[in-house]
Structure 1
Amino acid sequence: MKDKMYFKKSSLIVLLLCGLFTIASAQKLKVCVAGLNHDHIYNILNAYKNGQVDIIGIAEPNQELWKKYGKQFNLPETVFYTDLKTMLKGKKPDAVLGYNAVANHVDVVEVCAPLGIPVMVEKPLAATLDQAKRIEELANKYHIQVLTNYETTWYPSYNNLYTAVTNDSIGPIKKMVVHDGHQGPKEIGCSKEFLAWLTDPELNGAGALNDFGCYGADLMTWFMHGQKPIAVTAIARHYKPEVYPKVEDDATVIIEYPGATGQIEASWNWPFSIKDLEIFGEHGYYHALNGTDITSRMRENIKGAKKVETLPAPINDPLVYLAAALKGQLATPDDQSSLKYNMIVMQILDGAKRSIKEGKRIVL
């Protein structure tokens, strides 16, 4: 009986500590936003609307977007500025969140780093490897965190697979396959402001390759625990030149590791929206069909299926995660969002671009 009572008390203490950690991590952040021309902006604006975050400044040169989002989310006129540097003269945010063209992420870090302000940008980290190297240089020089936000980071199914594979449930990884994309940004109704840079080779760094190839590169880097690939081979297709005249709309990338192979399939030509992940081990297979559903098959033909719908804090939400990262409360600083892993992502994407251009396998 004493053992049972002790177990109940211990369990209660653990639950209380987890609850306190969640509350501490979820403490409302004061953030500034750089850019409104990324359609992911709805994520942070909805969080503001729901009282999860305090937006103390928005830097955006397009004043039409001020009107659009100001009215929609009841933002005061005093929150808007035409440029980031001017805004930060009178603001002290916990972090700056980048919702602008990928090629402008480096500009955000150029302004924030000397001020000691952490930055979180929407994926990918940069449009080019050179831009990423400059970001890394600034982050190291001024000792700031630069994080990259991927939708798939917050997928319970992916985290469940990572834990299972890390615990050797299917043996060493032999092959990884990641499919990401949709029917096309224009086809699904992305805003004109988003399309203007997303389909520009300079502002986005590529087309579907950067837009969706970055997911697979990030996930594979995570599952391989930051191991740098040996080589990259890629092909790009241009199925819809009349819709996307400047950039490829489909890319396939093969990534070579010492003991495994990764295949990234990124496209604006899928018949439907897709984000899935397949992991083949020495004696088993997992398939995360989406953010919650998983199927499995082991060597003995034992099949399984399950749904995973929740994640523990602070890996359950980008704002909760950001708060924990700023306080040094993460279990490990090396993960899908980390600068270390995203520098490898940028090397993979750069290798893929060179492979497409040169028509050959690129050794990293």
Structure 2
Amino acid sequence: MKKLLFLILGVNFLITNAYSQKNMEPLKVGVIGLTHTHVHWIFGSEPRGDIKIVGIVEPNRALAQKYAEQHKFSMELVYSSMEEMLEEVKPEAVTAFGTIYEHLEVVEAAAPRGIHVMVEKPLAVSMSHAKRMKELAQKHNIHLLTNYETTWYPTTHKAYELVKEQRAIGEIRKIMVHDGHKGPKKIGVNQEFLEWLTDPEQNGGGAEVDFGCYGVNLLTWFMEGKKPNSVTAITQQLQPENNPKVNDESIILLQYDSMVAVIQGSWNWPIGRKDMEIYGVNGVVYADNRHDLRMRISEGYDGYEEQVMKLDERPAPFDDPFALLAAVVNNEIQLDAYDLNALENNMLVVEILEAAKKSAELNKTIQFKN
């Protein structure tokens, strides 16, 4: 009887150990495109051990060589086409670091092979692209995630906790989101990135797409997927010498039943910023940057009691996009429908951005139907 018990315990240990070892194995990831400089992020993330880059697609060999020298990877990892890389190395997931227009092509190649996809923000250049991407993801049962820098800010999630879960400032009345910098050319992005970032077809627009998407993504999360009643936007080109094909200034107004939102995505900020202000009936939360958050509770007319917080990084895998991707693919984490990375959230982001572009073009408010 003792021998049988030890045998059963031994088998259980081996099974548990094998499962643990499997979970510890890094997710095999292919990187498609090197023209989006956010790609440095995944190379910096790989040493964490959550992922292993098994193939890279970049037809520009000179550009690939620069990255290879900087990040110390072999040029043998680099392929000139998606089909070649996907067939030869068979990654479990791919990340898209090319143009926004190319996101659809990535999903078209990966989804039928059962390969999961993470794209950089926003999800797509248009609703027609987004709908096709969603259709493919659902048909082939793959995860399709979108990555935003602000998703990984501890302040983003602390603000949500204070406002939505603790109701620390009362019912929300206004959210203001500010994102951007001096402009792609002024901050010195490399030529390969600049060429498509300032192209209306390849990027889907100008500053309202590049930086307006952050605010729309956050609002969709705070509003739990509820569509705004209306979208009103203005855009302007203040740097024609640097951005001749697209606007570089945008303000998007979203109107809900009991609150409003102001989203300012700009390539004209004198100082780069990604911050948010949330106003409730009793106070305000300021998410000033990645780590600094303030909450003010109203006292009288213009007085307030202020609490200042310096936040640590979030625990793994919620501190890194590729760690989260691995956790989702391995079924360790299940995203809610309107989580910041989730497909349903980002479908609505594209829909609202498309309405914003139409509003600015027609100089009129676009009504939404919930």
State the TM-score, normalizing by the size of structure 1. Answer: 0.91
User: Is 1:359 paired with 2:368?
Assistant: no
Task: Give the distance between the partners of 1:223 and 1:327, measured in 2 at CA.
Answer: 27
Per-residue CA deviations over 1:128-183 (Å, capped at 9, x if unaligned) read 12111111111111111100000000000111011111222222211100000001
Alpha carbons 1:49, 1:73 under 8 Å: kept: no
Task: Give the distance between the partners of 1:191 and 1:266, measured in 2 at CA.
Answer: 21
Q: Which amino acid aligns with 1:315?
A: F
User: Is 1:204 paired with 2:207?
Assistant: no
The corresponding residue for 1:310 is: 313
Larger radius of gyration: 2
Task: Give the distance between the partners of 1:24 and 1:176, measured in 2 at CA.
Answer: 43
Is the alpha carbon distance of 1:34 and 1:280 closer, same or farther for their aligned partners in structure 2, counting shifts above 3 Å? same
Stretches of structure 1 lacking an aligned partner (at least 5 in a row): 1-21
The corresponding residue for 2:9 is: none
Task: Give the distance between the partners of 2:296 and 2:25, measured in 1 at CA.
Answer: 41
The corresponding residue for 2:127 is: 129
Tell me how large the CA RMSD over aligned residues is.
Answer: 1.7
User: Is 1:345 paired with 2:345?
Assistant: no
Deviates more, 1:89-98 or 1:190-199: 89-98
Q: Which amino acid aligns with 1:304?
A: Q
Alpha carbons 1:314, 1:330 under 8 Å: kept: no
Mapping of 1:100-119 within 5 angstroms? Answer: 100-119=98-117
Alpha carbons 2:51, 2:326 under 8 Å: kept: no
Shift of 1:52: 5.3
The corresponding residue for 2:16 is: none
Q: Which amino acid aligns with 1:358?
A: L
The corresponding residue for 1:99 is: 97
Task: Give the distance between the partners of 2:335 and 2:121, measured in 1 at CA.
Answer: 20
The corresponding residue for 2:180 is: 181
Is the alpha carbon distance of 1:26 and 1:299 closer, same or farther for their aligned partners in structure 2, counting shifts above 3 Å? farther
The corresponding residue for 1:163 is: 161
Task: Give the distance between the partners of 2:332 and 2:97, measured in 1 at CA.
Answer: 25
Task: Give the distance between the partners of 1:169 and 1:302, measured in 2 at CA.
Answer: 13
The corresponding residue for 2:83 is: 85
Deviates more, 1:242-251 or 1:24-33: 24-33
Is the alpha carbon distance of 1:68 and 1:51 closer, same or farther for their aligned partners in structure 2, counting shifts above 3 Å? farther
Is the alpha carbon distance of 1:25 and 1:82 closer, same or farther for their aligned partners in structure 2, counting shifts above 3 Å? same
Task: Give the distance between the partners of 1:158 and 1:299, measured in 2 at CA.
Answer: 22
Helix, strand or coil at the partner of 1:275: strand
Alpha carbons 1:25, 1:321 under 8 Å: kept: no
Shift of 1:316: 1.4
Per-residue CA deviations over 1:5-53 (Å, capped at 9, x if unaligned) read xxxxxxxxxxxxxxxxx99977522100110000111111222366553
Shift of 1:361: 0.2
Task: Give the distance between the partners of 2:170 and 2:204, measured in 1 at CA.
Answer: 37
Stretches of structure 2 lacking an aligned partner (at least 5 in a row): 1-19
Mapping of 1:173-252 within 5 angstroms? Answer: 173-252=172-251
Alpha carbons 1:232, 1:348 under 8 Å: kept: yes
State the TM-score, normalizing by the size of structure 2. Answer: 0.89
Q: Which amino acid aligns with 2:137?
A: A
Q: Which amino acid aligns with 1:322?
A: L
Shift of 1:85: 1.3
Task: Give the distance between the partners of 2:169 and 2:21, measured in 1 at CA.
Answer: 36
Task: Give the distance between the partners of 1:224 and 1:60, measured in 2 at CA.
Answer: 38
Task: Give the distance between the partners of 2:136 and 2:364, measured in 1 at CA.
Answer: 33
Alpha carbons 1:176, 1:261 under 8 Å: kept: yes
User: Is 1:150 paired with 2:148?
Assistant: yes
Shift of 1:74: 2.1
Task: Give the distance between the partners of 1:332 and 1:72, measured in 2 at CA.
Answer: 34
Task: Give the distance between the partners of 1:213 and 1:120, measured in 2 at CA.
Answer: 20
Mapping of 1:2-81 within 5 angstroms? Answer: 27-48=25-46, 53-81=51-79
Shift of 1:126: 0.8
Identical positions, percent: 45
Task: Give the distance between the partners of 2:39 and 2:352, measured in 1 at CA.
Answer: 27
Deviates more, 1:312-321 or 1:195-204: 312-321
The corresponding residue for 1:11 is: none
Is the alpha carbon distance of 1:329 and 1:259 closer, same or farther for their aligned partners in structure 2, counting shifts above 3 Å? farther
Task: Give the distance between the partners of 2:107 and 2:242, measured in 1 at CA.
Answer: 33
